Amino acid sequence: MPLTPTHIPRGKQYIFTAVAFLLITVVNMLIEKWLGYQAIALVYLLAVVVAALFIDRGPIIFATVLTAVWWNFYFAPPRFAFNITDGYDRMMLVTYFAVTLTVGHLTTHLRARRLAEQQREEHSSALYRLTRELAQAADMDEIFCRSIEEIRKFFRADVALLLPAQQPPHALMPYTASLWSPKEKEMPMATKVFEQNEPAGRGTKDFTDAEGLYWPLCADGAPIGVVALRFKRAALTPRQQALFEDFIPQITLILQRQRLREAELNNKFLAESERLGRTLLNSVSHELRTPVAAITSATSSLRSSGTLSTAQQNLTTEIESASIRLNRVIQSLLSAARLKSGQLRPKLELYDVSDLIHVTLGNVSAMTASHPMQTHIETDLPLIKADFVLMEQTVANLVVNAATHTPPETPIEISAHAANGEVVLEVADRGPGVPPDQLDRIFDLFHRAPDAKPGGTGLGLAIVKGFIEVQGGRVSAANRPGGGAVFSIYLPATEMPVLSEETL
């Protein structure tokens, strides 16, 4: 490959021109007696044209002036004078200048075009190799490692990848595969680059005295780290910086694709996990109903078979109580499975809230015997349009939940009133309340507070939320002033239907 201005520094090009002129001049002095002084001009012309393949426009002009002046001074008559008397020689001198300058300009232009094409090809090849290497990475860690290695090879610099730490205060830390670690005094600058998404450091307009160049690395529009380069010699040339600026988007693109791939895999795993969970809920709950029914039937038969001793009566009572609790757990599992599968279709009819509360308290009296019940129901309360079975299970879950998590003999208050076109049904207690950081998650499926009593499944409140929402209502939880928790159900109020005289 011929030398180009990129290969030979400009100062050395002038030295090369001067040395070549001396050698050609010596040769011309030796062959002048055979060729004549006019042919010597052609030899100089050939030398300048050949030199134009190696040197830049400035040295070419220097070589043209040098050879023309020397030919005029030494070879053209009269010698050792700058006065050309022959018209033919004058025309040759003018033509010599025109030809050498034109040829020099054209060769320089062609060489510059070839160099630009070569640089574009190298640029494209570098991006292709980077993309190919990163596309073969299996995970984020491998992408980071390969990015560091490719940047090191192309730019001959020590590379550090700074990522935010997992633990607070989330300061930038060098990735394990980094080739160097920035000094402590430059970390605030790296943090600024990360936060403002603007490069800084060596070769930029900010922090030019820094040891390295710091460039932000983003994915999905958000910064994820900083690429830091420490150069062993000079900073990046304009061509290298243009290539580096194209490297960063390619790395970002691969990171975004990897994130999408991991998110897709996580979604598939979650969907499969939910499907398996629903299958298990359905299978387990249905399989348990038969033995529980058999236990309940056997207990009833045992009571009616004859007189039982005190120990037998106590055991029978305990079996019945355990069967009731287990039956409620199975019912909760079935309800959760119906909610998750979207198969729950409520049968909405008009009901009186007072009737709902009294029926519910009668059904859970055995499980709330140690807690006094206090009801506060507003008179002339509007009707609600709801599914009575779902509402009975909803209120029962709230009452049993209050009885389970509050000390014995503490009252449980059930109230109902109308407000803002809604019927509000509240179940309140005087227990320990709900931890403030758990209020947003208390209605999640299988969620249990850290200090919850053992034995629960985390289904009751999730079923409450699902049943109320499927009926067009909403539910909330809060802590009461003075201690305790209150769970509120909001359902749209319905006007009393007008009965015709024929109906009456």
List pLDDT tens digits, range 367-390: 888 889 999 988 888 888 888 888
Name the residue with higher pLDDT: 377 or 278: 377
Q: What is the pLDDT of residues 134-192, one digit of tens each?
A: 888 888 888 888 888 888 888 888 888 888 887 666 688 888 888 888 888 888 888 88
Q: What is the distance between the alpha carbons of residues 64 and 59, in angstroms, rounded to a whole number?
A: 9
Where do you find CATH 3.30.565.10 in the chain? 349-494
pLDDT at 109 over 70: yes
> Do residues 134 and 257 touch, judged by C-beta distance below 8 A?
no
Where do you find CATH 3.30.450.40 in the chain? 140-236
Mean pLDDT of 276-283: 66
Exposure of 83 in the CB half-sphere (CA atoms within 13 A): 3
76: amino acid identity, one letter: A
Q: To which residue do tokens 């307009």 refer?
A: 205
Total residue length of the chain = 504
Distances (CA, A) of 317 to 207, 293, 335: 81, 16, 27
Sequence-ordered alpha helix ranges (H) in 305-352:
310-341
Q: What is the CATH T-level fold of the domain 262-343, as seen in this structure?
A: Helix Hairpins (1.10.287)
Q: Which residues contact 475 (CB under 8 A, 6 or more apart)?
A: 443, 464, 465, 468, 469, 487, 488, 489, 490
Q: What is the distance between the alpha carbons of residues 40 and 28, in angstroms, rounded to a whole number?
A: 6
Reported as a pLDDT band with limits 50, 70 and 90, residue 4 is: very low
DSSP string, 148-161: HHHHHHHHTEEEEE
> Do residues 361 and 399 touch, judged by C-beta distance below 8 A?
yes
Mean pLDDT of 474-496: 87
> Do residues 134 and 250 touch, judged by C-beta distance below 8 A?
yes
313: amino acid identity, one letter: Q
pLDDT at 453: 58
Q: What is the pLDDT of residues 60-88, one digit of tens each?
A: 888 888 888 887 777 877 777 777 777 77
DSSP string, 32-54: HHHH-HHHHHHHHHHHHHHHTTT
pLDDT at 54 over 50: yes
pLDDT at 490: 92
How many other CB atoms are there within 10 angstroms of residue 276's CB atom? 10
The dihedral formed by the CA atoms of 488, 491, 492 and 496, expressed in degrees to the nearest 10: -110
CATH architecture of 349-494: 2-Layer Sandwich (3.30)
pLDDT at 281 over 70: no
Mean pLDDT of 330-354: 73
Name the residue with higher pLDDT: 299 or 159: 159
Q: Provide the CA 411 distance to its chain's centre, in angstroms.
A: 50
Q: Which residues contact 444 (CB under 8 A, 6 or more apart)?
A: 458, 462
Mean pLDDT of the chain: 80
Tokens of 127: 């991006």
Reported as a pLDDT band with limits 50, 70 and 90, residue 426 is: very high
Mean pLDDT of 103-107: 79
Mean pLDDT of 32-54: 82
pLDDT at 7 over 60: no
CATH of domain 140-236: 3.30.450.40
Across 70-79, 282-291, 346-355, 362-371, least confident range? 282-291
pLDDT at 413: 92
Q: What is the distance between the alpha carbons of residues 136 and 143, in angstroms, rounded to a whole number?
A: 9
Q: In percent, how much of the chain has pLDDT > 90? A: 4
Residue 499 sits at φ, ψ, to 5 deg, of -90, 135
Across 4-8, 88-92, 175-179, 251-255, least confident range? 4-8
pLDDT at 504: 46
Q: In percent, how much of the chain has pLDDT > 70? A: 87
pLDDT at 1 over 50: no
